[in-house]
Chain A
Amino acid sequence: DAMVIQNPRYQVTQFGKPVTLSCSQTLNHNVMYWYQQKSSQAPKLLFHYYDKDFNNEADTPDNFQSRRPNTSFCFLDIRSPGLGDAAMYLCATSGLLNTEAFFGQGTRLTVV
């Protein structure tokens, strides 16, 4: 059974139209990560949560925001998507003592 679930698997949005990607987990992990992965590149960490504490990477654009209303859910909000934001967005979780990060299947975002 899937433990980290991302919805939707595929998302098409218009240039400049806000979009939200969602992630849920059944592992009760403290840490949740959001990564952006472009074609043939490594996943790039955007930000992560430790419980409710938000940790933003220094080079993550302001256009990207995140919310974590509870342990199970985390959202990635892109306020004004540009063509360069088209990518696969990956959510992952890990426990503080368990070190392995579990990944969802990703949401592929297309901007038209």
Chain B
Amino acid sequence: GESVGLHLPTLSVQEGDNSIINCAYSNSASDYFIWYKQESGKGPQFIIDIRSNMDKRQGQRVTVLLNKTVKHLSLQIAATQPGDSAVYFCAERVEDSGAGSYQLTFGKGTKLSVIP
């Protein structure tokens, strides 16, 4: 089930089940989105990305869906494994106006706990 903790919502799933992690983003000008996985004490690791001109992208065991109408992203993990336990963040990229570079802003994370 899903619960909201003090800061991070938590999603608990049984090993082998599929997981769906959701993210709302804020800026309609964002042109690119990334999902990161962060294990305790480590930096975020890239999982999958999607450009704003797409609505779905698949990787190995992971799928990202983008709904620009409601500014919503989801990450689907198939056959969730204990090694998938981590905090997952979505990030959105927005071009700095006129500067030619980009800001990368993180959304609130979700802690995924996999029950063996």
Binding site for B on A (CB under 8 A): 4, 6, 30-31, 33, 35, 39-45, 48, 50, 53, 55, 90, 92, 94, 96, 99-106, 108
Contacts and interface: CB of A to CB of B under 8 A. Distances in A.
B106 to A, nearest CB: 4
Contacts of A6: 43
B46 A92 contact: no
Contact of B109 (A33, A42, A106): A42
B61 interface: no
| B: interface residue count bin | 20 to 34
Contacts of B108: 42
B101 A102 contact: no
A90 B44 contact: yes
Nearest to A105: B43
Nearest to B44: A103
B25 interface: no
Contact of B46 (A50, A53, A102, A108): A102
Given A31-B102, A96-B101, A50 B96 contact: yes
Contacts of A55: 96, 99, 101, 103
Contacts of B59: none
Contact of A103 (B43, B102, B107): B43
